[in-house]
Amino acid sequence: MSREEPTLENPDEIKEPDKEHYFNQPKLGKGGPSKLRQQFSRGMTYFLVIAASLLFYFALLRLTNLSEVFQKVFGVLKPVVYGCVVAYLLNPIVKQVDRYLVPVLKQKLKKPGQAESVSRGIGILAAIVLLIVLIVTLCNLLIPELYSSIRNLVMTLPKQLNDLVSELSEVQLDDSTTSTLIKTGMKEGTDMLLDWLRTDLMAQANELMSNLTVGVLNILSELFNAIIGLIVSVYILFSKETFVRQSKKCVYALLSARHANMVLHLTTKSNEIFGGFIIGKIIDSIIIGVLCFVGLTLLNMPYVMLVSVIVGVTNVIPFFGPYIGAVPSTILIMLANPIQGVYFIIFVLLLQQFDGNILGPKILGNSTGLSAFWVIVAILLGGGLFGFAGMVMGVPTFAVLYYIVQMVINNRLERKKLPAPSEYYDTMSYVNDEGVYYHSQESDE
């Protein structure tokens, strides 16, 4: 028996269309792909692979032009980059203010979202005021002292070098072969030093003076970018939750759930490593710089402020930083007083032992999870590729890569039902051909 179709003569039997159907967003990909579409997708995959290979080849040929384009874009967006960096550094302060202030404001402000908005504004204002006060205080303390130290250094350095050369020239030695070699080496060294002072140093000083105007303009440009970056950081801190939600939404939209969760996990871990390392290293370097200033003041050393700034700034670089800052500082102090230079070396060694064994572990803890060997590798690799910034950021970057590799290796071991900790793979432990792990104690039995 056939089903009766609705006709125009019976309009009551015709159902009205679902109006919500035209307002609701239709779902894509509900049915399976046809064979034609499968073949087209496969052909498109081949085409995209070939096209990507060609693009990569021509990109290598045009690498210089591409780098210039990236530098141009980076120069234009430099205030935004500065804003992101400032917002990242100020975010812990804003989070602490929100943690303590939001519960209090919720009891007094009943309107939804008002407590969070007020707390966020107070937190950002407090963070920016603290940053400005810190910068102004450091400038008031450092600039006059640095100017005085550099001025004294410029005024007294030629005389100190001449005195050093005269003392070396007046050294009396016997007529043995070793003494003759020492005299020859001292004469060659003093001649090279005097020649460098007369030619290279004066030429570099003239070049520096000629480029002074360009340097001042560059400094003013960077200050302008920093001010714009500070304004950008305010907007970033106010809207950071929105940016996080939008980024998370894009990740889930573009990737599968498993891959998206992996990306979000690595992002969270990277933020944990970078945040703990950078903020902790800044605090550690400030404390070391202050301790160096106090110690040099008590020891009545010359160039106290200049040396303290050098030691504090270079301490940001892990492992090699203290030694990088100690070398020029020791030379400066030894030119003024060789005995005090020896005392400074002893003081810096004690200070760095305190930092490496007591202060650093207390502040940084195990934020990177790297051994000393991998820290050295990260610093050398980062410094060789990206200079000073690479030496500072190389360690947390390498720590993230190390964590990813460790996670992949541990996952593959777990799939093979093998232990993941490295302690299980000593000299006598092994895995037989069937994939069964044997511990060293079992093999000894």
Flag whether 275 is in a domain: no
What's the number of domains the chain is made of?
A: 1
Flag whether 269 is in a domain: no
The secondary structure of residue 422, as a DSSP letter, is G
Flag whether 322 is in a domain: no
pTM: 0.67
In three-state secondary structure terms, 420 is coil
**Domain ranges, residue 230:** 77-238
**CA distances from residue 153 to 92, 166, 238, 333 in whole angstroms, order as listed:** 40, 19, 47, 10
**Cα–Cα distance measured from residue 395 to residue 391, given in angstroms and rounded to the nearest whole number:** 7
Per-residue pLDDT of the chain (445 residues; tens, 9 = 90+): 444 554 545 545 544 555 554 455 555 555 555 566 666 677 778 788 888 888 877 766 666 666 677 778 888 888 999 999 999 989 989 999 989 888 888 888 878 788 888 889 999 999 999 999 988 887 887 777 767 766 776 677 666 666 666 665 555 555 556 666 666 666 676 667 666 666 665 566 566 556 656 666 777 888 888 899 999 999 999 999 999 999 999 999 998 888 899 999 999 888 888 888 888 888 888 888 889 889 988 988 887 888 888 888 888 887 777 788 888 888 878 877 778 888 898 998 888 888 877 877 777 766 677 777 888 888 888 888 887 778 888 888 888 898 899 888 988 888 888 888 888 888 778 888 777 888 766 444 4
Flag whether 121 is in a domain: yes
Classify the C-alpha dihedral 323-325-328-331 as positive or negative.
Answer: negative
Flag whether 257 is in a domain: no
Flag whether 303 is in a domain: no
- For residue 286, how many other CB atoms are within 10 A of its CB? 15
Flag whether 329 is in a domain: no
Asked if 237 and 360 touch (Cβ cutoff 8 Å), the reply is: no
Flag whether 98 is in a domain: yes
Q: Is 343 exposed, middle or buried (0-12, 13-18, 19+ CB in 10 A)?
A: middle
